[in-house]
Amino acid sequence: MGIENSSSNKVFGGWHKQYTHRSDVLGCDMRFAIFLPRQAGTGNRVPVMYWLSGLTCTDENFMQKAAAFRTASELGIAIVAPDTSPRGDHVPDDPDEAYDFGKGAGFYVNATQDPWARNYRMYDYITKELPALVRDHFPISDDTVISGHSMGGHGALMMALRNPGMFKSVTAFAPIANPINCPWGQKALGNYLGTDKSNWKAWDSSELMKLAISKDSQTPALVDQGDADGFLTEQLKPDTLFAAASQVNYPLNLRMHEGYDHSYYFITSFIQDHLRFHAWHLGIA
């Protein structure tokens, strides 16, 4: 599978690059960004953090706003940031052009309902197609961690819970922690997966965490949430995630932060903590 470089910028001794490629899984052209620290190359493979962004975002939001490169460079961690949904004129979108469904809002699930099922398979893209592509073209090791924000926080937690052992650790900022019980999640899951709500639970982090009883199924997790987040009560529901973790003694560190909102100001304030959390579980701290 080929990739095409569209931009390159040197930063903290490493490189931030954007690439486009044809996705067989999504049936469209996709773009992703990668940060390669200075330790990558010359026979040396580095671990990688996948970053999943939130509603309306692309690969650029985190890479341009999070201020993660200095610490990632010091630790020797690569970062891959995919887009949040399939793109293209032929890809179906919300008929009302709403921000919370369709393009920019793939919700990291595999859609089963028409007309979404052909293109909206972000789960398979993130867990299968994109990692294989990255390993084929870059000096990346098999040691992988995952993180995300809001809808991407939901994606990161859900993927770690559905795939024990795939990721050494998982972190999230203000994740949609219980999508089956919030307006964003109900709209997305109802359209992508159909009206049978029993099928939604397999994509809900709070529901999945209740099933993670054995230590082998528990990926260490760090979640940060601001108490001034305007979406906290209606959409995010971190208390539900905490209750699920308490039920099965899951290794979740959920931190509430006074005065912080849902923006990238929040993410830049604590991204170093997340990178060092991952580094510890990667054994490179």
Residues with catalytic annotation?
150, 229, 262
CA 77 to chain centre: 16
Amino acid at 91: V
- Dist CA 171 CA 237 (whole Å): 16
Name the residue among 174, 255, 248, 261 with its Cα closest to residue 207.
248
- Dist CA 116 CA 58 (whole Å): 19
The answer to whether the bond into 115 is cis (omega within 30° of 0) is: yes
Whether 167 contacts 144, CB under 8 Å: yes
- Dist CA 260 CA 237 (whole Å): 16
